[in-house]
Amino acid sequence: MDKFRIRGGKPLHGKVAIGGAKNSALPLMAAALLTPEPVTLHNVPTVRDIITMAKLLTFMSAKVTTQEIPSNDYTIEAVSLNDAVAPYELVKTMRASILTLGPAVARSGYAHVSLPGGCAIGARPVDLHLAALEKMGADVTTEHGYIFAKVPKGGRLKGAHIIFEKITVTGTENILMAASLADGVTIAREPEVTDLIHLLRKMGAQIEGEETPVLRIRGVNELHGAAHAIISDRIEAGTFLIAGAITNGDLMITNCNPAHLAAATAKLKKAGVAVEICDEKTMRVRGSKKLVGADITTEEYPGFATDMQAQYMALATQAEGTSVITETIFENRFLHASEMMRMGANISIDGHRAFVRGPAKLSGTMVQASDLRASAGLVLAGLVAEGETVIDRVYHIDRGYERIVEKLQAVGADIERISGAGS
């Protein structure tokens, strides 16, 4: 099992190019199941979850081809679907596998999907997905760890008025895809899925309202192939902004969308970090010799992303004063705090709030990653810690960060990947 070895204390300087957004690429790959024609996606990140999704689509009889030049392209052609089974062996490490449910039942009238796995950051039930599909006319059952969904023989999903009880990005994406091939009009809330909407429209879907709290989808008889470039990964960009800040460095972040980082940028500035928007795809971050504590509360987009919470906690350990971090999205997302405390951080947890008192002199030690973003938070802590930090279970970070070791090395970090035997 691979690990990261980091020797901290080196300011980062240089340029980092941000890759495509994994959380955008995954639903767009699933959307290719809606048509027998080829769908080509550009700027797809090379991370483990993408590879897993490609294997899953292949298992469902889609043909997946890749081309690294010029922009890491994936072409997916699902001429026909098999019995639309998404097996546990493929989905146990990736929650996004549930995104094949909506497209499969909409196109073939039947889907058989394992209940998904993913990060250990609390319960993320799929009940909202299933209730919405039932409202659209599907017969849905769960047994032996699998979801079975089907529509009456010869029939199609029907339009419905769907209001999700709470924020569910994947639920919205699932129903958005399913509704594109349903009879009638479907209305769904929570439009945090603009990139998926853009692809579906290119495929012939009729969707209105992405700039409002309500999406209106008018189902069509069939969708066709299309080509689309994945948006840049705002979480990767935010992680590197904090990397530059926490090491008192100077980084240029390219191929990003500053508008997607407004909440993170505002909090970094409040903490004393110099962040500059250079142009529509480039940002610059410069560290501060004196960081100050600033509170954050995680929220759905456009608020402060829960996927940036662990990285911000690492920064807060170096800030003067107390930073209060309130987690409102997941109930079990402070597992990284105990690992940072082993490194010398002064953190106390009270329910869904963490109190981080700084600045703390972190020292390198052996730590263990619990989920994808916790891994990134520990990497950031290691970059500023004195001595050597070894992070175990880095397969988590491989799920969502493309070539993170190489990118950090290129801007001056002393980091390397080691095998379990070499530690």
- Which is catalytic among the residues 119, 179, 182, 314? 119
User: Could you tell me which residues are beta bridge partners of residue 15?
Assistant: 252
* Residue carrying structure tokens 């196109």: 107
Cis bond before residue 359 (omega within 30° of 0): yes
- Count other Cβ atoms within 10 Å, centred on residue 297: 15
Q: What gap in Å lies between CA 338 and CA 111, rounded to an integer?
A: 41
* CB atoms closer than 10 angstroms to residue 160: 19
Question: Does the annotation count 256 as an active-site position?
Answer: no
Q: Catalytic residue positions?
A: 119
